[in-house]
């Protein structure tokens, strides 16, 4: 990583850009390594905030970051992007909690891992949850998308 970072820094040309994203866009998506958000959406350094977590879910922490992005840094559009063949699809909280317990000996019963069964439905659920937040400006556009990890194509859901 350090060698790659040195090569990156040697050709780094994004110094001095402002913190607010140039496209006034914040993206909430999954942490899946098969989705290179910047390349897939034609984004450059400074264009958008990109929030990633397991499943790309509108968790409390994701909502916190959306509030900061919109209220403090001027984003005016939120894109929720889930993807095909997600590892969180089809799991249950019980399965995940049992796995944590068996592998670590710890109790994760208080954690909601936000698993889901239908990827497109999870996009709709998260868009609605974001739209319903009293902390976010209702004028901000919130859209939902599915990314196909096999074709690289994006399809609008909401």
118 Cβ contact list (under 8 Å, min separation 6): 89
Distance, CA of 97 to CA of 10 (rounded, Å): 44
Q: Which two tokens stand for residue 52?
A: 């990633």
Q: What is the pLDDT of residue 10?
A: 98
Q: What is the pLDDT of residue 125?
A: 98
55 pLDDT band, cuts 50/70/90, is very high
Q: What is the pLDDT of residue 76?
A: 98
Distance, CA of 127 to CA of 146 (rounded, Å): 12
Q: Is the pTM of this model over 0.85?
A: yes
* Contact (CB, 8 A) for 29 and 58: no
- List pLDDT tens digits, range 78-131: 999 999 999 999 999 999 999 999 999 999 999 999 999 999 999 999 999 999
* Proportion of the chain above pLDDT 90, given as a percent: 100
* Contact (CB, 8 A) for 144 and 154: no
* Proportion of the chain above pLDDT 70, given as a percent: 100
Q: What is the pLDDT of residue 12?
A: 95
The correct CATH number of 19-156 out of 3.40.1010.10, 3.40.50.740, 3.40.50.2000, 3.40.1050.10 is 3.40.1050.10
> Tokens 């699809």 map to which residue?
89
Residue whose C-alpha is closest to residue 116's, from 89, 146, 97? 89
61 pLDDT band, cuts 50/70/90, is very high
Q: What is the pLDDT of residue 36?
A: 97
The mean pLDDT of the chain is 98
What is the DSSP secondary structure assignment for residue 56, as one 8-state letter? G
């Amino acid at each position: 990583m350090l060698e790659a970072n040195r090569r990156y820094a040697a050709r780094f040309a994004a110094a001095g850009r402002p913190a607010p994203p140039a496209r006034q866009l914040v993206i909430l998506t999954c942490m899946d390594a098969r989705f290179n958000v910047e390349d897939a959406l034609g984004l450059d350094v400074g264009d958008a905030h990109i929030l990633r977590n397991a499943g790309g879910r509108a968790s409390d922490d994701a909502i916190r970051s959306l509030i900061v992005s919109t209220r403090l840094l001027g984003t005016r559009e939120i894109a929720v992007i889930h993807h095909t063949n997600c590892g969180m699809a089809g799991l249950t909280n019980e399965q995940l909690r049992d796995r944590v317990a068996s592998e670590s000996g710890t109790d994760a019963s208080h954690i909601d891992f936000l698993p889901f069964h239908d990827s497109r439905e999870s996009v709709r659920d998260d868009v609605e949850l974001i739209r319903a937040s009293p902390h976010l400006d209702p004028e901000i556009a919130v859209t939902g998308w599915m990314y196909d990890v096999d074709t690289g194509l994006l399809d609008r859901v909401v």
